[in-house]
């Protein structure tokens, strides 16, 4: 009998009615003869409410105590969902992170899973019970409660699926699958029946938001078959696995975009070697994520350096760099806020060197100025003015024919 | 260096401001050079909110899942209180029930503590930290989360105090100590500086409400020195221990009372032997607590039986008994609701047989009819009309001179 892992996020569990709906969907899988492990997040706004309580006590809570506080959120969800399943006549048992055997490294608020002890889960599965496990949380070997950081529940689901050898890990969410682009802005966007880990990884990192990149990476490393699907609609989602059976050679698979980006330029950096490392060290120490980095030569002694960060980090980035102006050794800083990043993703790009050029040409034809560029083997990103983001995404979606279902036979 | 355990109830932690106040009081003890273990309940209305969520899902939640749900309440309190202490510069660390080593029997919703593994607590105390432990909860040897039932946090505090050999266990609550009677109704009531376990046990069982009887029993069995005191005022409370140094021989120590009592009389019970046991078995199976029981002979074959229960259980008691009328074998049932119980308590009664007679005489002088009586070595209880409860309590308080501080020398 096959085992599946099903993950429900907080918005799919925000009320007791939604919890009952989720229970119905879970019961359907059980009726189909599957062994089922469910992984859940905290209900809707619970985490925000807990954060507010902590904020009333202190501005600098110890991370250990924050983990202690926040992990209560999933514990409420698992108990209520287990009750809802049992009420429907489907025996279920809830497990906290430590009861589910999720062992993490000794780090609070952003721990990595180092082991999954499945004996407890396997024992209850053998009794015919559905396991409802708390996502996002684990325990160190010393018995300290930890959390896995953003996207933690996705990671828990994938880790459990890998550990128990589940045939598939379903990520149930607000959308019905992974789309060629965001349908709210690109009306022709359509759902992809399948996509590779690497493509999903680029899309996830590019802000597509359906699935946390860390979970995708974990799934790739452990060859866990993922499916992103609706938590309410009963239609096939998007399967993420190594071998993409359909549309294998389609060059571009999706267009992702992300707004609220700032380009920050450091002028007159004196020593390229130490300057570069000290700039990015100081930003990392202050939890400022840097995305695209471009370095340009000005004269023999000095360089200019541009990089993109999120708008919200702009003031902090400027402050920390200015405070170390002497040590780093630069002349001045300039910011340009309100930018956006548009990216095309597809594993077929590796063997199609003309794709990036085609992208730049299309944007140029529309008078959209490209301010920064970044490429990987399977994606090309361009930073442009925020106002151009939607139209750029729509044009790229049309250019690469993403709105059309392509028959396997027709692909070159 | 002496160690103390301090317990705060939910009403002393109902807001983040109150949590900060509690942290101040705890910090004071630390400054006095004590090692401190704090035990807390869930914040104010948290338990009610969680119960409501469960009620929206099912009318019959599994006890295991209710324990899973409710234990999140204390987990929120311990993390917030630890943050508040740390914010004040007093290092603190929070422990759930299982982290604090509270091992219980394998029963959900009303488990008894069978072991306390103190190594984790002692390690952190040795580091100079305050331990903030979740009350009310424990873990079985199989790693199942359990709760201790009503008064569970008091029991946790006493169990930890016993296990680590604390010099005292402070129960911080809404009142400043144990009084000779309820000051809201008996204006002359005064705080007792000390009281014995047995006296406290009778008072606790009689509805005095400051301390759960189970915790008092645990304290008695393990000779833990308890002190009931205010969670906000800095004044001495009431010490509960074996040897009462002051007022040792005072005959009566307190007057307790409790309203909303029903007397239920079963007429014409045919078989005294099987009838009695089947009546009280069926009531116990239906969670109906019976207090005073009186049996009277009518003729050779039949007896009448009266017992007191809480008003709220009246309908249920009548229903279950009527439904088994044939099996038990009785003629009919009569109820008298709206009664009250007034009790005098004092360990000196053992050697003063006249005390009960004095009580009955005083009540008779006031035309207060006694409907049922129950006695133990250290208490006398009388069931009377509810309307007479307050005046009876006041008269008895006066009769036994409880409003006057008695010098040790003056006692007979």
Q: How many beta-carbon contacts under 8 Å exist across A and B?
A: 105
Helices (H) and strands (E) in chain A, counts: 12, 18
Average pLDDT over residues B217-238: 92
Q: What is the ipTM of this complex?
A: 0.82
Does residue B28 carry a pLDDT above 80?
yes
With an 8 Å Cβ cutoff, is B58 touching chain A? yes
Average pLDDT over residues A129-153: 95
* Phi, psi angles (nearest 5°) of residue A249: -100, 10
A69 with B80: Cβ contact below 8 A:
yes
Token code pair at residue B216: 């008092």
Three-class secondary structure of residue B26 per DSSP: helix
A94 with B16: Cβ contact below 8 A:
no
B99 with A71: Cβ contact below 8 A:
no
B60 with A99: Cβ contact below 8 A:
no
Strands (DSSP E) contained in A231-350 are 238-240, 254-269, 293-297, 303-310, 332-345
A53 with B94: Cβ contact below 8 A:
no
CA angle B144, B145, B149 (to 5 degrees): 130
* pLDDT for res B125: 96
- Please tell me the distance from the alpha carbon of residue A145 to that of residue A104, in angstroms, as a whole number: 9
Cα–Cα separations (whole angstroms), residue B100 to A67, A120, A157, B155, B164: 17, 22, 29, 14, 11
Please tell me which residue of chain B has the smallest CA distance to A15: B53
pLDDT digits (tens, 9 = 90+) for A258-286: 999 999 999 888 876 677 788 888 888 88
Does residue B385 carry a pLDDT above 90?
yes
Residues 8-47 of B with CB under 8 A from A: 16, 19-20
- Please tell me the distance from the alpha carbon of residue A156 to that of residue A154, in angstroms, as a whole number: 5
Best mutation target among A67, A69, A87 (most B Cβ atoms within 10 Å) is A69
Give the single-character DSSP code of B225. P
Does residue B409 carry a pLDDT above 70?
no
CATH for A255-399 is 3.30.2130.10
Please tell me which residue of chain B has the smallest CA distance to A62: B83
Best mutation target among B61, B68, B99, B130 (most A Cβ atoms within 10 Å) is B68
Domain definitions of chain A by residue range: 3-173, 255-399
Q: How confident is the model at residue A147 (pLDDT cuts 50, 70, 90)?
A: very high
What does the CA dihedral A27, A32, A37, A42 come to, rounded to 10 degrees?
-30
Average pLDDT over residues A135-153: 94
Sign for the CA dihedral angle at A126, A128, A134, A136 comes to: positive
- Please tell me the distance from the alpha carbon of residue A221 to that of residue A80, in angstroms, as a whole number: 33
* pLDDT for res A19: 97
Q: Which helix (H) or strand (E) holds A85?
A: helix A63-87
Does residue A90 carry a pLDDT above 50?
yes
Annotated binding-site residue? A9 = yes
With an 8 Å Cβ cutoff, is A72 touching chain B? yes
Average pLDDT over residues A29-56: 95
Cα–Cα separations (whole angstroms), residue B250 to A180, A300, B186, B392, B406: 86, 99, 19, 20, 8
With an 8 Å Cβ cutoff, is B88 touching chain A? no
Does residue A159 carry a pLDDT above 80?
yes
pLDDT digits (tens, 9 = 90+) for B247-285: 555 688 899 999 999 999 998 888 766 777 888 888 888
B99 with A143: Cβ contact below 8 A:
yes
Give the single-character DSSP code of B206. I
- Please tell me the distance from the alpha carbon of residue A208 to that of residue A182, in angstroms, as a whole number: 8
Nearest to B250 by CA among B144, B366, B409, B63: B409
Annotated binding-site residue? B55 = no
Residues of A in contact with B93 (CB under 8 A): 64
pLDDT digits (tens, 9 = 90+) for A227-253: 999 988 889 999 998 865 545 556 888
Residues of A in contact with B143 (CB under 8 A): 98-99, 120
A58 with B86: Cβ contact below 8 A:
yes
B96 with A143: Cβ contact below 8 A:
no
Ramachandran region of residue A145, left (φ > 0), alpha (ψ -120 to 50) or beta? beta
- Please tell me the distance from the alpha carbon of residue A346 to that of residue A334, in angstroms, as a whole number: 34
- Please tell me the distance from the alpha carbon of residue B100 to that of residue A207, in angstroms, as a whole number: 42
* pLDDT for res A350: 72
* pLDDT for res B246: 47
- At the topology level, CATH places domain A3-173 in Carbamate kinase (3.40.1160)
Please tell me which residue of chain B has the smallest CA distance to A59: B87
pLDDT digits (tens, 9 = 90+) for A167-196: 999 999 888 999 999 888 999 999 999 899
* pLDDT for res A412: 33
**Average pLDDT score, chain B:** 90
pLDDT digits (tens, 9 = 90+) for B178-222: 999 988 899 999 999 999 998 898 887 776 678 888 899 999 999
Contacts 24+ apart (CB under 8 A), B361-364: B362/B395, B362/B396, B362/B399, B363/B392, B363/B395, B363/B396
A99 with B143: Cβ contact below 8 A:
yes
Cβ–Cβ under 8 Å, residues B254 and B402: yes
Cβ–Cβ under 8 Å, residues B29 and B3: no
């Amino acid at each position: 009998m096959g085992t599946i892992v099903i993950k429900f996020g907080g918005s799919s569990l925000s009320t007791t009615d939604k919890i009952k709906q989720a229970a119905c969907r879970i019961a359907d899988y059980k009726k189909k003869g599957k062994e089922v492990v469910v992984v859940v997040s905290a209900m809707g706004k619970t985490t925000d409410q807990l954060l507010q309580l902590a904020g009333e006590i202190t501005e600098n809570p110890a991370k250990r105590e924050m983990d202690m506080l926040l992990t209560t959120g999933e514990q409420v969800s698992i108990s209520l969902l287990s009750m809802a399943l049992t009420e429907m006549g489907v025996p279920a048992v809830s497990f906290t992170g430590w009861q589910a055997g999720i062992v993490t490294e000794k780090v609070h608020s952003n721990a990595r899973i180092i082991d999954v002890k499945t004996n407890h889960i396997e024992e209850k599965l053998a009794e015919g019970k559905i396991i409802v496990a708390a996502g996002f949380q684990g325990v160190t070997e010393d018995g300290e409660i930890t959390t896995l950081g953003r996207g933690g529940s996705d990671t828990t689901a994938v880790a459990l699926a890998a550990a128990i050898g589940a045939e598939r890990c379903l990520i149930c969410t607000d959308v019905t699958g992974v789309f060629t682009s965001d349908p709210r802005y690109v009306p022709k966007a359509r759902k992809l029946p399948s996509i590779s880990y690497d493509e999903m990884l680029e899309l996830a990192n590019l802000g597509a938001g359906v699935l946390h990149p860390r979970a995708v990476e974990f799934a790739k490393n452990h060859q866990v078959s993922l499916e992103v699907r609706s938590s309410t609609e009963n239609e096939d989602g998007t399967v993420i696995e190594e071998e993409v059976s359909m549309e294998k050679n389609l060059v571009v698979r999706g267009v992702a975009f992300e707004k609220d980006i700032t380009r920050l330029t450091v002028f007159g950096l004196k020593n390229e070697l130490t300057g570069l490392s000290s700039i990015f060290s100081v930003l990392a120490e202050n939890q400022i994520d840097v995305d695209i980095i471009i370095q340009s030569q000005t004269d023999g002694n000095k360089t200019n350096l541009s990089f993109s960060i999120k708008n919200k980090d702009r003031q902090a980035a400027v402050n920390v760099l200015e405070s170390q102006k002497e040590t780093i050794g630069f002349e001045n800083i300039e910011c340009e806020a309100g930018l956006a990043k548009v990216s095309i993703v597809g594993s077929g790009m590796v063997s199609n060197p003309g794709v990036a050029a085609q992208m730049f040409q299309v944007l140029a034809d529309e008078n959209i100025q490209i301010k920064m560029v970044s490429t990987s083997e399977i994606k090309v990103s361009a930073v442009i003015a925020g106002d151009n983001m939607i139209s750029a995404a729509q044009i790229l979606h049309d250019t690469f024919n993403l709105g059309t279902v392509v028959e396997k036979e027709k692909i070159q």
